[in-house]
């Protein structure tokens, strides 16, 4: 799943499964005439979903250079060719007609957990990790007996379409771009781009050892192990007995 698909999912949530507005807009994008003038238009949009709509339309337009922005609450500004503006107007009209509910808030929690060889008797008794015992049991099932220690837990609130939901901890920072989908049964599914960066000596950013950039999709409340790496600042865990770090995430509505 790439970010364009995340954008499609956001719009899919906003206007319902019967609407295929984003593919239509992309089709119009491909058929823009060379002399089709670039124009700036503003559109009213419900403030409670404006962030979601901005992100969805930006993803739909792709790397064209055409821009979508929010100059004020309840107002969407689009800088694009006239033919694309027609598609944007149609999408927003259909969204307004469906009167979607406000974009839901989601709580994201991530446990950064170190693992070293241990015994089955002590592997699940570590303080601070009671909530993630099912995930730790799954790791042990595939990796063998391990002793786990909590490095840090991070938590934040985020809304679909909000690209600035982030938190900085003592050892790691996290940034989340989420959306909400529905599966074939109509049950909610959370999809998110989750970025974790580690603070290591002489390095602080997304390319540092121990950092993570993952796209995940899971039901609300479910624990998911989204990554594994050598502990930041340590030798490669594949060839030594140094700890490894696991990234365990949970999102709730």
- Which residue has 């944007």 as its token pair? 88
Question: Domain coordinates of the chain in residue numbers?
Answer: 3-98, 105-252
What is residue 111's three-state secondary structure?
A: strand
With bands split at pLDDT 50, 70 and 90, how would you rate the model's confidence at 246? very high
Task: State the average pLDDT over residues 93-112.
Answer: 84
Residue 165 CA to its chain's centroid (Å): 10
Q: What is the mean pLDDT of the chain?
A: 77
> Burial of 95 by CB count in 10 Å (0-12 exposed, 13-18 middle, 19+ buried)?
buried
Which of residues 7 and 159 earns the better pLDDT score?
159
pLDDT tens-place string over residues 44-93:
988 878 877 887 788 777 777 788 998 888 899 999 888 888 888 888 88
Rg value, the chain, Cα: 21
Q: What is the pLDDT of residue 154?
A: 95
Q: What is the pLDDT of residues 191-244, one digit of tens each?
A: 888 999 888 777 766 667 778 888 888 899 999 998 877 765 554 444 445 688
């Amino acid at each position: 799943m790439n970010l364009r698909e995340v954008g499609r999912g956001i719009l899919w949530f906003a206007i319902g499964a019967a609407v295929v507005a984003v593919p239509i807009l992309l089709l119009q994008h491909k058929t823009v005439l060379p002399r089709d003038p670039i124009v700036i238009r503003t559109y009213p949009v419900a403030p409670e979903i404006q962030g979601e709509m901005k992100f969805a339309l930006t993803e739909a337009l792709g790397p064209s250079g055409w821009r979508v922005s929010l100059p004020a609450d309840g107002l969407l500004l689009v800088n694009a060719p006239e033919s694309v503006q027609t598609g944007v107007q149609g999408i927003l009209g259909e969204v307004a007609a469906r009167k979607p509910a406000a974009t839901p808030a989601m709580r994201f929690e991530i446990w950064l957990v170190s693992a070293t060889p241990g015994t089955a008797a002590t592997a699940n008794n570590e303080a601070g990790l009671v909530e993630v015992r099912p995930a730790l049991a799954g790791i042990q099932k595939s990796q063998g007996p391990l002793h786990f220690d909590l490095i840090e837990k991070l938590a934040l609130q985020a809304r679909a379409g909000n690209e600035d939901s982030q938190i900085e901890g003592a050892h790691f920072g996290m940034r989340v771009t989420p959306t909400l989908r529905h599966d074939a049964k109509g049950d909610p599914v959370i999809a998110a781009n989750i970025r974790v960066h580690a603070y290591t000596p002489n390095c602080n950013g997304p390319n540092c050892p121990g950092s993570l950039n993952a796209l995940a999709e899971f039901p609300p409340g479910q624990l998911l192990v989204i990554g594994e790496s050598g502990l930041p600042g340590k030798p490669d865990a594949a060839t030594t007995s140094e700890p490894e770090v696991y990234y365990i995430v949970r999102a709730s509505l």
